Amino acid sequence: MAERETWTTDEFGSSHEGSIGVLLPDGTVPEPVFFPLSSAAGGQTTSEWSVYDGRFSLTPKAHALRAVCSCGWAGTEYPLDWAKIGEQNLRAAARDLAEECEVEWWDGHTATVEKSAIAVPEDITDLLRLVSEKIEKLAQQSPLAAVRAARLLEVTAVRSSYWPAHDVRAKASPEEAAAALGLNEDDTLDLLARFGNWSPYQ
């Protein structure tokens, strides 16, 4: 897989992996670029946006940047002004546009995903927030006690999710469960298998 900088949230993980995408003048997405090593066999393949500066035959010149997500979502297109960029390093010259893309993914896309997921009662979210704050405070006094408290929280989470995972498996389709959890289907099935203690390959 081609290397590039990506962003994820703690809750949605690889189901919503964001990054900065590149568009060429014809509206297509360029292929990853392979940079061979000069001193040995092999090399590096990357699709990091900043390499598409047209300086080498291997690297086409980007027309626009946009935020993209592993779920298929794509954000606003931000055209690059090459007359202004000139011979500047693309990463430095287009830093503001790159930041716009990242903000759009964080504040726009992931916020929408969170809102579209099934709601959790406020008293539960408040309780989870309180427990998190308590463990963080405990860590200042005794890191070992905080680790044990976090472990007990983990055990409680696994135990309490066992039967709900089985109920979801029996009553909801993979598509319905994925939409409710804000995950893709593969990650949803893996999560349910882990909570329900069955093989994800069943």
Q: pLDDT-derived band of residue 2, with 50, 70 and 90 as boundaries?
A: low
Show the tokens assigned to 67: 């935020």
Tens-place pLDDT, residues 91-141? 999 999 999 999 999 999 999 999 999 999 999 999 999 999 999 999 999
Which tens digit of pLDDT belongs to each residue from 72-90? Answer: 999 999 999 999 999 999 9
Average pLDDT over residues 47-56: 92
Confidence of residue 35 (pLDDT cuts 50, 70, 90): confident
Q: Hey, CA dihedral for 75, 99, 70, 110, is it positive or negative?
A: negative
Q: For residue 109, what are the CA distances in angstroms to 17, 105, 199? A: 11, 5, 32
* 45 bridge partner residues: 34
% of the chain residues with pLDDT over 90: 87
Q: Does the pLDDT at position 1 exceed 60?
A: no
Question: 200 or 29: whose pLDDT is higher?
Answer: 29
Label residues 17-44 b or e (16+ Cβ within 10 Å = b): bbbbbbbeeeeeebeebeeeeeeeeeee
Tokens of 201: 């390959």
pLDDT for res 185: 96
Contact 42, 34 (CB under 8 A): no
The pLDDT of residue 41 is 66
b/e sequence 81-95, b meaning 16+ C-beta within 10 Å = eeeeeeeeebeebbe
Tell me the average pLDDT of the chain.
94
pLDDT grade for 58, boundaries at 50, 70 and 90: confident
User: What percent of the chain is modeled with pLDDT above 70?
Assistant: 97
